[in-house]
Chains A and B, each alone.
Chain A
């Protein structure tokens, strides 16, 4: 067979899936170039995990087609599985085995042979900083270690396309940074990464292209910069002690006031210069501010800009 270099690593057209009468994916089209990082961004329940499960052959689609690494996921699942690696949101490690044994198990299932399997396990334990815990049961691992072991197990088979379903959800900030480093290293090695996340900064940090998923539909796609251009900058949130002050401030600064919460949202890019200007205007008008906080754009802002609704509405709607 001949496969051109320009063939995308993942292509999906009109992918649909419903669970009972709940439509989870409502016809999505995706294309991920080989060797790139693609992020599927969306809140809980948007359908991200379902998309990964279909593309990784774990579940079937109700409609549409998908090809991964040049193979149809429905007709040639075995060939797709031979090319991919999947690290899910919930760790898929064998808790009763040690870290090293988990890796050797993967090596055996990839038919690597005894010596090669051990060498590969040792190499991955070192690379993922798990050497000290290599001979401890995986059940004793911390969240970050578990996630690293999970990813190491995925890499034993040298996959060309890696699916990472919310790789940093629930991790502490340091483990999160470690995970980002690992992902960047993988990309440098030439693999294609299909990532899902609910964090705009994560997608911005890692991805070449981002698609935003909302209630089973793609509402936007593009490079991180293209996407951010569509999202207005952050805002400053001011809190006051009484309604009269809120009204005065709204008159002086504009923005949207919430009389009940005694707060005012003013668009602001969060730079020192613009913050000083804002404070100067408050001073000039002799307005007393109780509290001030600066917000940089996050997933909620993206959603608000793209759909006119905050993302939190759909929490747990999977």
Chain B
């Protein structure tokens, strides 16, 4: 592919997703890596804020140390719109192309990033868990995948800007300090005319029942090796006994044993519990990338060669159908 991209600056942009007058959590997570990359490139850190009545959020971004906030503020932009947002960003990017644009891998981000990349004809990676830049200004995008314990480093050497979506929960949040403000806000007019074929009719908040996975002290997770809905009940029993939450791998969700909201890993959640217990989980990196920061990892699997044992503090080789009931009994006794 010839260099079809734009002539880029050394700046890093972070997309400042907002909902209900608040910045999405992942925005705070992207500011530190954004700053690290822009420092390395010798550029500045900018943020793109699209919404309605979001002046406070622009100030908040400045208080987090952002150099420039591009703010597009208009009533039709109150909520993420898959027709308008990619078009607005495309225009902004073409006027002042950054080296890279970092977007949180939220539902909105996963719609915006690929759409924008297609409009610009540039490369886009998904669910990055780490970022760096090389001497040529290439963004090194670390994406777990391909089974086992392999990490792929994706680059887009011939196209600019580089676009990456970053998995939520990977980087530490930057805290705002109103005193440090030194950047500036650039108001950008919203000049879109023409029909808008996608309309938001209503936003519905849902209360999630049960312990949120990300906040649980103990997470017991099951994988394909659990084998059945009946077996899954044992996972739930162990989690309940330990006052923990139940997590799952993608295959377990695909089998219908667990809900999508329980999925841990590359396209699911990142957990940092005090204890993680993996049952019938081989340890594919697509899952383990979401548990590597657990304080303690215990694995139960019948295959002694399962990769999960390599990252576990304590592993038990055997049939979980025998081991989990024994474990439940032993914990119940210990508690008495």
Are A and B bound to each other?
no
